[in-house]
């Protein structure tokens, strides 16, 4: 019954490393999103994509990039990780024709040392 899968639940990286967070959905959803969640701040949108090879900046895109080469896969890339990118990262997807209800992955907790 797994619908949105994030490749890593926990990662520890060093400052300056390149980090890939992978997200795969099996619901044929058009829309995919990357959020980060920090205590006291709620979820904040980093990037989203409404179609293959299409991406749009969210509210906090600085320091991140994304890739959507296939409909089911949306990757978040930290080109050079920094300590202020330590956070919980959540991927979500939704159908364009549905009720815009998001289905979330289990989250990836990233620690940058």
Partner 1 sequence: KNEVEQSPQNLTAQEGEFITINCSYSVGISALHWLQQHPGGGIVSLFMLSSGKKKHGRLIATINIQEKHSSLHITASHPRDSAVYICAVRSPLYADKLIFGTGTRLQVFP
Binding residues (CB under 8 A) for partner 1: these are 9, 40-45, 48, 58, 88, 90, 92, 99-107, 109
| CA-based end-to-end distance of the chain | 35
Tell me the closest approach of the beta carbon of residue 106 to partner 1, in angstroms: 4
Of 71 and 109, CB closest to partner 1: 109
Of 28 and 69, CB closest to partner 1: 28
- Rounded distance between C-alpha atoms, residue 44 and residue 111, angstroms: 18
Of 62 and 69, CB closest to partner 1: 62
For 38-80, what is the HEC assignment?
ECCCEEEEEEEECCCCCCEECCCCCCCEEEEEECCEEEEEECC
3-class DSSP state of 104: strand
Tell me the closest approach of the beta carbon of residue 87 to partner 1, in angstroms: 11
Tell me the closest approach of the beta carbon of residue 19 to partner 1, in angstroms: 17
- Rounded distance between C-alpha atoms, residue 13 and residue 87, angstroms: 12
Of 77 and 102, CB closest to partner 1: 102
Tell me the closest approach of the beta carbon of residue 43 to partner 1, in angstroms: 4
């Amino acid at each position: 019954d797994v619908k949105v899968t994030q490749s890593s639940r926990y990662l520890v990286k060093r400052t300056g490393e390149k980090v890939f967070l992978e997200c795969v959905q099996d619901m044929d959803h058009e829309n995919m999103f990357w959020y980060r969640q920090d205590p006291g701040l709620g979820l904040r949108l980093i990037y989203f994509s409404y179609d293959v090879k299409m991406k749009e900046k969210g509210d906090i895109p600085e320091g991140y990039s994304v890739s959507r080469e296939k409909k089911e896969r949306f990757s978040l890339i930290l080109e050079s990780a920094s300590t202020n990118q330590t956070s919980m990262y959540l991927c979500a997807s939704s159908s364009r024709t549905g009720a815009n209800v998001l289905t979330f992955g289990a989250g990836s907790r990233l620690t940058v040392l």
